[in-house]
Chain A
Amino acid sequence: MNIVAIFNLVPDLVEELEIDQSGTALNMDFLRLIINEFDDHAIEQAILLKERSGARVSVVGPSIDGADDVLYTAASKGADQVIKLTADFQGKKVNNHAMARAFASTLKELQADLILTGVQANTDLDGSIGPLLAEYLGMPYVGYVSGVNAVDGKVVARKEYPGGLVAEMEIKLPAVLGIQAAEQPPRYVAVTKVRQAMKTTTIEERLLAEPDLSGDVCIHRMFKPEVGTRAEMIEGSADEVAARLVGIFKEIGVL
C-alpha cells in the first residue's frame, strides 16, 4: 500500500501575531512557521500504519521555511520518500484550493492508495485541504479520523462525531482521510537521529510549473479581537461587585 502524508506549515503562536500595513494579512517579519499540528498527527499515523502493515510512506510538503526540518524528521521516523513541492509560493499567501491542486498532480504521479492530511489548520480560510484534495482526485473523503487500520486493500477508520459518538467505517481505496489525532502522539526523534537523516536522505524536489493560485477568499479586514460594547464590565470591591450582580439578577428576573 502506498501511503502519502501531506503537510503544511502555519504561524507559530509562540510569537505574538501582528497585522501588517495593509490590514488584511499577518505581518510576516517576525513570524515563524511550524508544522500544522494535525498534519504532524497525519505523518505519525502514516508511520504507525507502515510499522503495522509494511506500507510505503511518502511525505509531501510545500517549499516554504521550515519544510526541510519536517521532511528530515519524517525521514528519521521511517518515511521512505520525502518530497518538497517547489513553486513560486514565497510572498504569496497560498490558499487551500491552490495547494490542493498542486498536491493533486503529485499524488496522481505517486499513485497513492491512502492519503492522510490534518483535518484542519488555523489558516484554513477557504476551507480545509482534505475535502478539496479528494474532490480534485475524485476520491472519497472521511474527516475527524482518530484511528486507522489497514485490512486487505481497505481501511477501517474511526471517525469522531460530536457528543462522544465514534463510528468505524470501512473505506475502499484510494481515499483521503482528514486526521484529527494519530493513535499515539507524534513520537520524539533524538537530534542525532535527525542529523543522521540529514546526511543520508535526499529531499526530492518537484517543480510545479505555473501553479493555479485561484480560489482565495477576499479579505476585507484582519484584526485582533476588539472590546465589544454589549458587555457590562463591573468594577469595584468584591462587595460592590456582588451588590451590582444581585441588582442585575433582580432586573432580569432570575432573583
Chain B
Amino acid sequence: MVTTEAVVHSFYDKVLAATPHGEQLRVCLECGNCSGICPFGYLMTYPPSRLIAMLRADRFNKVLETDTVWMCVSCFACTAVCPSKIPLTFGLMTSVKEELLLAGNVPAELQTALANSQRYGNPQGESPRKRADWVKDVNPQVTIMAQARRPVDVLWFVGDYASYHPRVQSATKALARVLNALGVDFGILGPDESSDGDSQRLAGERGLFEILAEKNGKAFSKYQFNKIITTDPHAYNAIKNEYPQLGISYPVQHYTEYLIERLDQLKPLLKREVKAKVTYHDPCYLGRANGIFDQPRALLEAIPGVELVEMAHNHTNSLCCGGGGGGMWLDGFQWEKAHVRMSEWRVREAMTSGANILAVACPYETPRFEDAVKSLNGGRQLIVKDIAELLAEAIG
C-alpha cells in the first residue's frame, strides 16, 4: 500500500524530472493568480494553487479521489501569469492528470480518444490508410513522400483534424492551394503520419505520446527535406519543444510563420478583395505557449479589404476555445459540470467585437467555433474561417 508521503515524494520527483524548471513548484507564493485566471477554475475542486497547497499539506491522496482536473484544457493561462514562473500547465496539471490516469480515474470519452490514438494513429478512430484521402481534388497533385520517393524542400505535417475532419479539410485544401500558388516544393507523409501526440501528452498519456513521437520520428528519418511546417499549433509545439528531448530534432514552423516570411511573394498574389471586419483568435499553442502573435495578424492585414478588429481578450490574455489538453474529447464530461462551453464565450466576444469573420489558425477551432455559432442566439451572422481559407479566397 503506497503511503501518501511516498506518493507526494514521487509526484514531486516526477514533476522535477519531467519539466524544465520543475523545482519552481517549491516557490509558489499561493497568490492564486493561476486559479483566478483559469477559465474553468471556478469548477475545479482543486484549481492549480489549491493543488500545490494539497501537495504541501501532504494530502495529495484527496486529489486522486476527485475528477475536476479534467476540466483543465491546458490553455496556458495559469502559466502565463504565474509570478514564480512555475511550469503549471506542462508540469503540474499534466502530472496530476498522469497520476489520475494511472489510477484509472479517467472519463470514458477520453479513453476512447486515447485508445484510438494508439491503435489507429489518430484520436478519431479513422483508418490510417485514409489519412491522405483529402488530396483527391487538389490540383496540382499533392506529393506523398512514400510514393514520390524524392527529396522536397518542405515537409508539411498535416495533423489529425486537418486530415480527417470534413470541415477542416476545406482549410487544409486551401493551404495546399496557397503553397502551390507560391510554388513551394512540399510533400506530406500521408499514411506514414501519426498524431503529433501533444494533446494526448497533456491529457496525461506520456507513454502514448512517446509511441506516437517515435513513429513520426521514424517516418521523418525515411525522407529528405529542409524543414517541417505544420497546419496546427499543437503539432508545432510538439515538434519544436518536445520531440527534440526524444532525439527527434528538425527545424519547424507553423504555416503562418512560414508564409509571413514570404510576404513579398505572397502579397502580389492576393488580388481579390475580402471586404470584412475580421477578428483573429490567438490559438493557445501559437500565442501564449510559443509567443507567436504578430505573424498571423500581418497575414490577415495583407489581404485587401480586411479590417482587423480585436476582441476584448487578445494576445496573452486570449480566451481558449476549450479544445486542448484533452478538451476535444471531454465535451460531454465538461458540459455536465459547466453547462457552458469556452467556445461559446469566445464566439460571443467575437460577435461583440463587431467582426463579420472570426479568423483562426488551429484545426481544433474551426469546428468548435462553428458549433458555438450554431448554438448561440444571433450567432449565425458570424463566419468562421482559417487564415489559409481567407488567403486562398484572396488568391482566387
Contacts and interface: CB of A to CB of B under 8 A. Distances in A.
Nearest to B108: A185
A191 B101 CA distance: 10
A193 interface: yes
B344 interface: no
Interface string A183-224: 001011111111100000000000000000000000000000
A191 B118 contact: yes
Contacts of A188: 101, 104, 106, 111, 114-115
A187 B127 contact: no
Contacts of A191: 118, 205-208, 210-211
Interface residues of B, number: 23
Contacts of A16: 127
B118 A14 contact: no
B207 A187 contact: no
A154 to B, nearest CB: 29
Given A185-B108, A188-B115, A193 B126 contact: no
- Which among A188, A191, A194 has the greatest number of chain B C-beta atoms within 10 A? A191
Contacts, number: 39
Contacts of B98: 190
Interface string B90-114: 0000000010011010101001001
A195 B206 CA distance: 12
- Which among A187, A190, A194 has the greatest number of chain B C-beta atoms within 10 A? A190
Interface string A69-101: 000000000000000000000000000000000
Contact of A190 (B102, B119, B125): B102
B108 A192 contact: no
B111 A14 contact: no
A15 interface: yes
A31 to B, nearest CB: 11
A30 B205 contact: no
A189 B101 CA distance: 8
Nearest to B212: A191
B134 interface: no
B113 to A, nearest CB: 10
A190 B111 CA distance: 10
Contact of B207 (A15, A30, A34, A195): A195
Interface in A6-22: 14-16
Contacts of B108: 185
Contacts of B114: 188
B127 A192 contact: no
Contact of B127 (A14, A189, A193, A194): A14
A49 B208 CA distance: 29
Interface in A142-197: 185, 187-195
Contacts of A14: 120, 125-127
B129 interface: yes
A52 to B, nearest CB: 15
A6 to B, nearest CB: 22
B301 to A, nearest CB: 43
Nearest to B107: A188
A30 B129 contact: yes
A15 B129 CA distance: 8
A17 to B, nearest CB: 12
A190 B101 CA distance: 7
Nearest to B128: A14
Contacts of B115: 188
A192 B129 contact: no
B125 A193 contact: no
Contacts of B210: 191
Interface of A: 14-16, 30, 34, 185, 187-195
23 contacts: A14-B120, A15-B129, A16-B127, A34-B119, A185-B108, A188-B101, A188-B104, A188-B106, A188-B111, A188-B114, A188-B115, A189-B104, A190-B98, A190-B101, A190-B102, A190-B205, A190-B208, A191-B207, A191-B208, A191-B210, A191-B211, A192-B102, A193-B102
What 4 pairs across the A-B complex have the smallest Cβ distances? A191-B207, A192-B207, A188-B111, A191-B208
Given A188-B115, A190-B208, A191-B208, 9 more contacts: A14-B125, A16-B127, A30-B129, A34-B119, A190-B98, A190-B204, A191-B118, A193-B102, A195-B207
